Amino acid sequence: MHGLAVLDLLARTLATLVVAAWLPAPTLLAQGPVQVPLNYNWNGIAHAGETGQPDAPNGFRSISDRALDFTGGVPTDPVLSRYALVGTAGALDMVHLGNRNTVDNGNWAFDSSPNSNAVGTQPSWLSNPNQTGSQTTNLTTPIPLGLQSQATVLFHVSNGGGSCDVTFSFQSGATATRTITAPDWFNGAFAGRDSVDRADAGNNLGLVEATLDLSAFAGEALTRIAFGNRSNTNAGYGIYAVNVVPAPEPATETRIALNYNWNGIVHAGEAGLPDAPNGYRSIADKGLDFRTGVPATPLLAGFDLVAAPGSPDLVMLGNRNAVGSAQYPFDPLPDGDNLGTQPAWLPNPDLTGPQTTTLATPVLLDGSSTASFLYQMSHGGGAFDVTFTFATASITTTLTASDWAGGSYLALDDVDRAQTFTMLRIEDATIDLSPASGLVLTAITFGNSSNSNGSCAILAATVTGCLSCSNSGGPFAYGGGNGPTMSTSATGALGCPLDWQVQGATPGTLLGRFALSFRATGIQLSSVFPACSGTIHVDMPLTAVAFVDATGTATFSLPAQTDPGFCGLAIIAQYAELVPTSCPVLLSDALSITIGN
């Protein structure tokens, strides 16, 4: 693509986005865990101003006789810092599972009226002290789950500790229940308060961070979280936060053109011709029946399978002359039986060695990269290895398969004659390549079968990731701001989204704009507004409204572009906002992202 045409394309994209940016709900790239806003039902953390007032009508109450001490704010701690914890007084700040009137054998039942002891009265925010039933949080925005999805729960349990259940509900209606367990909360790493609702300085308390694997629900969307079923009915359970690792943002999917070495799927016109010199041959004694086309199933929809006859359509791993205890060796001459002769497209039936596909377009792995395969294996199934080759490293993984018989895909039996109907299984597997982010995948190799009596067919493969450029790319900070900062989670890789995030803008302002350009300049803002510092680095920019949230943060995102012509292109962004001060322009640092590896 001509350079100018690329610029035109991107400009059109930018212009579209500028328009789109006026619309509500600009998307944020979800890279880290989602901090789930729990449906708090209890004010049970002692914040500044909440201690020493056991009978405050609307104040703090312990879930038993103690509480976390946040009187100095949320403690600085690497675990706590990952969660959205309530740092202010006078608000519900936890999910309580228990009954304050019965916890610890009823020692801390609410007073009926205020008195001078440490036990308070039932607060106005608590309609019913019995919170032993399931405590549910409905998510206003469902969280999509992926292969790396997990939930972490931050909680503790009084009076000897115990377990409770966490039930996750999904958009499909499915649910999953997991049990979390904590020891007694006494003597942990976090400052604590005692004296029940008086919340005097007390012994430290412990918190447990339970991790629950949700990867089995990849593809689902989480809609609800509920806590219930206490194992210790004498204890109070305090659940402070839940984080969920969502599915990564979808990246560009590359359907790999595998280096097929076998015509082993029966396409139209290929059945009934066991000795056709250039025709179909089974990898063992059966073959998938694609005579009416590739079956329209969700499993196969994400792959490119060969739909036409007369060409190799799978990667065979095995030896047709040895498979099935050597029951299906090629005939030396055409003889009309079910066993065909060695076809012209097969120079050597022994394909037990490594079978390699070199990628025509290398894939730059990113933080969401996966590789998926369709395959099947005859005669008992087994395992084989897939090796991903990069410029500087390699990764091998083992895929396993059950015997191919008895699946849900139409197939044809009778070895190379392909005549009798049968059913076969197609296996699928997805491998997480995200930890190899930054590596460029150049080849995929299959080998090392664990079943010397079976044949393996690899039908298709896809890899998600960014695309590789020949130039290096990435963000570059120009500076130039007079307050707000600019950052990005993007690497600049082709085929992956780009984003710019400004922090330090005026919360909720409607007067902020993102300015983007393809060229850099260096105009002192003081040349326009003498009272201002800062440098304008965007040259002849397009602008988009910035939706600044309550924390002074706004994000501008560009969708993934896959055209190699974009390689090397730099896009510079800067945020500007009108403010009623002597310098009327709040200007962020400028940040450019060059598209490349």
Partner 1 sequence: MHSRSRSVTDVLARLALAATALSAALAAQNQPPAAPRFTEPPIANLVLNPSDVHMETAPFADPNPGDQHAASDFEIWTVSPSQRVWAGLGLTGFEKIHAHLGDGTFENSHTGWHRLFANTQFVLRARHKDDSGVPATEWSPWTSVPFATGDAGIKLPMLLEDVDDVPAPTWTEASNPSAAIDLPPGFPSSMLRIETDTRWQLLRIDGTTGPGNRVTNPPGLPVHRAIRVVIEAGNVGQNLQLPASDLRGFEHSCASFVIHLPAIDLPPFSRAEFWVSDHGGTYDATGSPFVPTFTNLARSVPLPWEPLQDGFTLDVVASNLRMPVNIAFVPNPGTGPLDPKFYVTELYGTIKVVTNNGTVGDYATNLLNYTPSGAFPGSGEQGLAGIAVDPTSGDVLVSHLWRTGGQNNPRITRLTSQNGGLTSSSRQVILNMLGEPQGQSHQISALEIVNGELFCHMGDGFNFQTAQNLGSFRGKILRMDLSGAPIVTNPFYNGGAITARDYVYCYGVRNPFGGALRAADGRRYCVENGPNVDRLTQLVPGRNFGWNNTNASMFNFALHAWDPSAGPVSIAFVQPQTFGGSDFPAELQDRAFVTESGATYAQGEQTIGKRITTFAFDMNGNVTNGPIPFVEYTGDGFATAAALAAGPDGLYFSEFYRDAMTTGPTAMGARILRVRYGDPLDCDGNGLPDSCELASGAADCNGNGVLDVCDLQNGTSHDFDGNGVPDECDPLFASVDEISLSTGGTVDFDLDAGAGNAGQLYRLLGSMTGTAPGTQFGSLTLPLNSFNDPWFQLTSTVFSPTILQGTIGQLDAAGRAQAAIVVPPLPLSLLGITFHHAYLVTDPATQPLFTSNAVPLTMAP
Residues that bind partner 1 (CB under 8 A): 77-79, 147-148, 150, 183, 187-189, 203-204, 211-213, 215-216, 379-383, 385, 387, 390, 392-398, 400, 402, 431-437, 439, 448-454
Specify the residue, 311 or 398, whose C-beta has the smaller distance to partner 1: 398
Specify the residue, 215 or 311, whose C-beta has the smaller distance to partner 1: 215
| Contact by Cβ (8 Å): 176, 167 | yes
CB of 174 to partner 1, least distance (A): 17
| Contact by Cβ (8 Å): 135, 97 | yes
Specify the residue, 271 or 486, whose C-beta has the smaller distance to partner 1: 486
Could you count the other beta carbons within 10 Å of the beta carbon of residue 49?
A: 14
Specify the residue, 27 or 396, whose C-beta has the smaller distance to partner 1: 396
CA triplet 198, 204, 207: central angle to 5 degrees? 105
CB of 583 to partner 1, least distance (A): 33
Specify the residue, 6 or 322, whose C-beta has the smaller distance to partner 1: 322
Question: What is the number of H-type helices and E-type strands within the chain?
Answer: 4, 39
Specify the residue, 397 or 562, whose C-beta has the smaller distance to partner 1: 397
Q: Which two tokens stand for residue 269?
A: 């016109």
CB of 269 to partner 1, least distance (A): 34
Instruction: Give the residue from 319, 302, 315 showing the smallest Cα distance to 265.
Output: 315
Specify the residue, 209 or 563, whose C-beta has the smaller distance to partner 1: 209
Specify the residue, 430 or 482, whose C-beta has the smaller distance to partner 1: 430
Give CA–CA dist 275/484, Å, rounded: 74
CB of 431 to partner 1, least distance (A): 6
Half-sphere exposure of 371 (CA within 13 A, CB side): 24
CB of 426 to partner 1, least distance (A): 18
The sign of the dihedral angle between the CA atoms of 367, 368, 374, 376 is positive
First to last CA, the chain: 19
CB of 373 to partner 1, least distance (A): 12
CB of 400 to partner 1, least distance (A): 7
Specify the residue, 455 or 517, whose C-beta has the smaller distance to partner 1: 455
Specify the residue, 238 or 381, whose C-beta has the smaller distance to partner 1: 381
Under DSSP, is residue 8 helix (H, G, I), strand (E, B) or coil?
Answer: helix
Classify burial at 75, counting beta carbons within 10 Å of its beta carbon; exposed 0-12, middle 13-18, buried 19 or more: middle
Half-sphere exposure of 9 (CA within 13 A, CB side): 15
CB of 206 to partner 1, least distance (A): 8
How far from 287 is each of 334, 497, 521, CA to CA, in Å? Answer: 20, 41, 63
CB of 332 to partner 1, least distance (A): 26
Instruction: Supply φ then ψ for residue 400, to 5 degrees.
Output: -120, 150
Q: Which two tokens stand for residue 577?
A: 């906002």
Specify the residue, 448 or 543, whose C-beta has the smaller distance to partner 1: 448
Could you count the other beta carbons within 10 Å of the beta carbon of residue 197?
A: 30
How far from 280 is each of 54, 328, 507, 525, CA to CA, in Å? Answer: 83, 14, 67, 72
CB of 212 to partner 1, least distance (A): 8
CB of 338 to partner 1, least distance (A): 22
CB of 285 to partner 1, least distance (A): 15
Under DSSP, is residue 245 helix (H, G, I), strand (E, B) or coil?
Answer: coil
| Contact by Cβ (8 Å): 456, 328 | no
CB of 134 to partner 1, least distance (A): 22
Specify the residue, 172 or 179, whose C-beta has the smaller distance to partner 1: 179
Specify the residue, 71 or 437, whose C-beta has the smaller distance to partner 1: 437
Give CA–CA dist 218/143, Å, rounded: 11
| Contact by Cβ (8 Å): 225, 136 | yes
Specify the residue, 24 or 78, whose C-beta has the smaller distance to partner 1: 78
CB of 109 to partner 1, least distance (A): 26
Three-class secondary structure assignment of 483-541? CCEEECCCCCCECCCEEEEEECCCCCCCCEEEEEECCEEEEEHHHCCCCCCCEEEECCC
Under DSSP, is residue 273 helix (H, G, I), strand (E, B) or coil?
Answer: coil
Under DSSP, is residue 164 helix (H, G, I), strand (E, B) or coil?
Answer: strand
CB of 451 to partner 1, least distance (A): 4
Amino acid letter, residue 283:
I
CA triplet 561, 567, 568: central angle to 5 degrees? 130
Specify the residue, 129 or 248, whose C-beta has the smaller distance to partner 1: 248
The sign of the dihedral angle between the CA atoms of 575, 578, 579, 584 is positive
